[in-house]
Amino acid sequence: MRNLFYYILAFFMTANTFAQQQDTTAVKRGHTNTNKFKQLYDQFSTPNAYRAASGAPGYAYYQQQADYKMNITVDDENARLSGFEKITYTNNSPDVLRYLWVQLDQNVRSKDSKTPLIEGKALEPVFLPKDFTAKYTKAPFDGGFVIEHVKNSKGEPLAHTIHQTMMRVELPKPMQTGDKFTFSIQWWYNINDHVIERDRSGYEYFPKDKNRAYVIAQFYPRMAVYSDVEGWQNSQFWGRDEFALPFGDFEVDITVPADHILDGTGVLVNRKDVYTETMLERYENAKKTYDKPVLIVTQKEAEAAEKGFAKTTKTWKLRAKNVRDFGFATSRKFILDMMAVKIGGKDVMAVSMYPKEGNPLWEEWSTKAVASTLKTYSRMTFDYPYHKAISVHAKNQGMEYPMICWNYGRPKEDGTYNDRVKYAMMGVIIHEVGHNFFPMIVNSDERQWTWMDEGLNTFVQYVAEQDFGKTYPSALSEKDTHFPSDRGPAHMIVPYMSGNQDFIAPIMTKGSNTYQFGNNAYGKPATALNILRETVMGHELFDYAFKEYARRWKFKHPTPEDFFRTMEDASAFDLDWFWRGWFYTTDWVDIGVKDVKRYFVTSQPNAYIRAYLKEHGITQKQLKPLVYTVEEGSEDFKKSMLKQKVADVETLKSYIMDNFSAEEQSAIKVPQYFYNVTFEKPGGLVMPIIVEYTYKDGSKLKETYPAEIWRLNDKEVSKVIASDKEIVSIQIDAKLETADVNVENNVWPRREVKSEFERFKSTNKN
């Protein structure tokens, strides 16, 4: 006769198999692999010679180069920008090119622009007068490029076709691998007032002193990217999703009124020609000052310059190596300050340019924010490679270019400002300066994947804001113990993720096709990465992998897959489940405590076993000693000594002691309480289960079950808790770390948690 102990084991196995079969037959049909832990092979491209499976550039990776020589003139009287540029394009691809594509982004403001025609919107019931005028009564502004000629290096006209914001230039002969082609474009356009529609580039007019402050970008015909992924990235610019650009060297000479202060991308090579002796002396002092900004042009001097309106001009000469774009700002209104910051053993200049309307806020905090940002981003990625970073004050602006950005945050006319204005100004400076890293250096395709620059940058912005608050505690208001970031922490994305699914798109959506742009491109990816760092991977593994991604792809063109693969490759974390849920779907997080049952152990067979023994004609004496579990409140529980809620500890000890040495036995704690906790997942997103168990004696235990706990059952899972102490409450995600959209099912026993949730948000803004 076989040992009855094994019959019992066989019974358990048979019962389990039968239950699985029942689940399978209930489906009635087969299905493909819907497991949320399957690999992302069906979404990812096949690795190749250009992009390796590890997420690194492949051995045959290439990128094109576009070098520019430009002469630019700002006509301040007529608000017109004109330029002549010579482009030298190098074909490093293995492909033969028969034409080139050039971006004409200013054409988004031409009279025949198609951009207004793609926006469908009903008539609004009420308008501000200026908005109504701009929409329905004002003649459209004609700010598109006027292309006067496109010629080859010999001065011969080149055939070209302009299609909205793109221009195709026909090559006299096909470009082979390694070929260079030089051509020139003469152009001009009317500069727009960027305040009217919050354009990325243009001027702000100040009626009191009749001056303009210019922030100029997308101002020249720019080469499009040609890559192994897209071929020509010649997607039209519709006004929102930004830019994809190749790297190159720039020589730019900019002629402006002689009383203007100007700076931009690149090294100013004729500083002695455009600075006064006093400015040069202050500049040399700033190069040695690391603790506070040095004024190069004071407010008093800027106010005096506002009244001048010089008729003569100066030419500022800027040179930049290996940048993807160029921008500059110029005005006679600008105050200028600088401060040195040590990055990786070298000095970088943190710079601010602002009209008096920005003070006193800007003089106090702009350059300090620039310096702090460079330190944090360099720690999280790589040492900032350029020699300067400039923050320019412009109304309602937030835009970035290599080494320079424009930022909002303006006090009232009397110089006062509230916390909202102050923190917004600091936050936007940190964000826009951070864009030097993403995408100006880690050069993702913004036109296709907006989140790769905005989302990654917003994530690091959150880290940088917290660093800024620690470095400059005087920047914080009395009520704040840390910088009150408005994106990054998990609970802040809950309203979006729990919203109307008809107006939510996956993160992996082209920027111009998303519904809630800020949440989709900025908030959700930043939150996802923050959760990945804080809750899933931990700082050490995440930071190493994130830094490796930045190192691999600086001055190159990464794709989302390169990022996803590198994060896994450098950390030994299989994260396909995370990328799929957070980036490819609009699922949300909702994990709850479905059920908690308490059990006790006994040496007496329970009803489950008694039924089996009876069915098979087996007596209890024939069984080897077994440990039985009895659910609290069951008939077995009521009939036995367990009604006193105490485990049959002595019997249990006698069962297990035979398996341990005397020394081991002395260290053994036999649990008196057994709990079967069932967790449910009404939400679609797979996430770790962060649980806090509270015991009767007031002590607590935090346990994090990895996301893989859901791999065999996506709806509910159970955990057995063996404890020598009685559990009185269980709470999931007590610190709101996972963006759980429904906290009411997070606790056992059930209680009202909404007020607790709101209290947590108000006292833990980050």
Q: What would you report as the CA-atom Rg of the chain, rounded to the nearest whole angstrom?
A: 33
Measured distance CA(138)–CA(117) in Å, rounded: 17
| pLDDT-flagged residues of the chain (< 50) | 1-21, 643-644, 756
Q: Regarding beta strands 689-695 and 700-705, do their DSSP bridges make them parallel or antiparallel, or are they unpaired?
A: antiparallel
Measured distance CA(680)–CA(175) in Å, rounded: 60
What three-state secondary structure class fits 652? helix
pLDDT value of position 25 = 52
- Look up residue 291 and give its DSSP letter: S
Q: Which two tokens stand for residue 391?
A: 């923050």
Measured distance CA(443)–CA(244) in Å, rounded: 8
Q: Give the alpha-carbon dihedral of 23, 24, 29, 31, to 10 degrees.
A: 100
Q: Which residues of 120-277 form beta strands (DSSP E)? A: 146-152, 160-163, 166-175, 180-190, 202-206, 211-216, 222-223, 226-227, 231-232, 248-257, 261-264, 267-268
Give just the sign of the alpha carbon dihedral 337, 342, 347, 348: negative
Contact 445, 512 (CB under 8 A): no
Contact 103, 96 (CB under 8 A): no
Q: Which two tokens stand for residue 698?
A: 């007031």
Q: Which two tokens stand for residue 221?
A: 């015909």
Q: Which two tokens stand for residue 750?
A: 């059930």
Measured CA distances, 503 to 496, 739, 741 (Å): 10, 19, 17
Element containing residue 524 per DSSP (H, E): helix 524-531
Q: Identity (one letter) of the amino acid at 378?
A: S
Measured distance CA(338)–CA(357) in Å, rounded: 18
Measured CA distances, 748 to 227, 413, 693 (Å): 54, 55, 10
Q: In terms of Cα–Cα distance, which of 584, 592, 518, 575 is closest to 541?
A: 575
Contact 623, 655 (CB under 8 A): no
Any idea what the Cα angle at residue 583 is, between residues 581 and 586, rounded to 5°?
A: 65
